[in-house]
Amino acid sequence: MSTLVTGGAGYIGAHVVRLLQERGEQVVVVDDLSTGDASRIGDTPLIVLDISKDEAVRVLTETMIDYDVDAVIHFAAQKQVGVSVKRPALYFRQNVGGMANLMSAMYDAGVRDAVFSSSAAVYGQPDTDVVSEDSPTNPINPYGQTKLIGELLLADCNHAWGLNYIALRYFNAAGAGWVDLADPATLNLIPIVEQALYDGNVPVVFGDDYPTPDGTCIRDYVHVLDLAKAHLVALDALREGTVKNRSFNVGTGSGSSVTEVLETIRNVSGWDFESKVADRREGDPAVLVADCQALELALGWKAELGLEDIVESSWNARQAGPKPVKVPAAD
């Protein structure tokens, strides 16, 4: 038996693929390589495919049968919130259409277990600082809407033909489990700061007048390796039949402010760089932290790594890559 990982050449997906292989599992990856990199998965079987295309159901079904797939971990999706606002049809076609094709292929191939990469974006702008799975789902952008629709599709497939699923609602994934698996995008705070330093720019803090202890936004940063391990725990639960058909938050249960993140980067890098403050960005809540008790109680998963681990692993991966940051010599 083997596990099919869609989007397995991407940032989080590649971490999951490596963990699966380290414990001796057979894995096949489906990825269109639009943002993924085949070098991240070594000699793992790779099917280059855009799962939103018309031929995807046939190719996915054949792949599941040929590789004796018994479970799917689904990452493949567009994920830039800003782009989703400008190009909603693209996001619905890729994220919802692609997932519908995947569900059709799973039905045709007789595969019944799926772990889904969802997002805290399904909550929109919560009324509370700490968000539990019981909080209202009210996404405020097309990206979050596609993730919520994905969860609804899973529930409908469960009702229709017995699909078993676990959806994981990520908060702020960051860091690197291995130096060759750094976050390739500059969409999140830590890689954005690293890129600014590489480019010789001053990192920007958007707003320092929030109702938080230091005035900057607070977010729940979860190490990508902890996040990847949560997928394996979910996969095992589905295969064993102990937990199924639920959505869980994945975070640490505690938050770090933008100022705290910048200070940690300074400590890790040894560079006391400057930052500058700009106006708040529209739609940024002051505090957004995950309540992760449900996941711990149901599956025994709990984040083991903290902010310093995240920043240190991200910085080390950046410095080991092709574009290391040149840190000025100390005075």
The catalytic residue positions are 143
What is the C-alpha to C-alpha distance for residues 198 and 318, in angstroms, rounded to an integer? 10
3-state secondary structure of 71: strand
3-state secondary structure of 245: coil
CB-CB neighbours of 225 under 10 Å: 24
CA 32 to chain centroid, in Å, comes to 17
220 neighbors 253 (Cβ within 8 angstroms): yes
| Ramachandran category for residue 33: left, alpha or beta (phi over 0 → left; psi -120 to 50 → alpha) | left
What is the C-alpha to C-alpha distance for residues 323 and 102, in angstroms, rounded to an integer? 36
CB-CB neighbours of 231 under 10 Å: 26
284 neighbors 206 (Cβ within 8 angstroms): yes
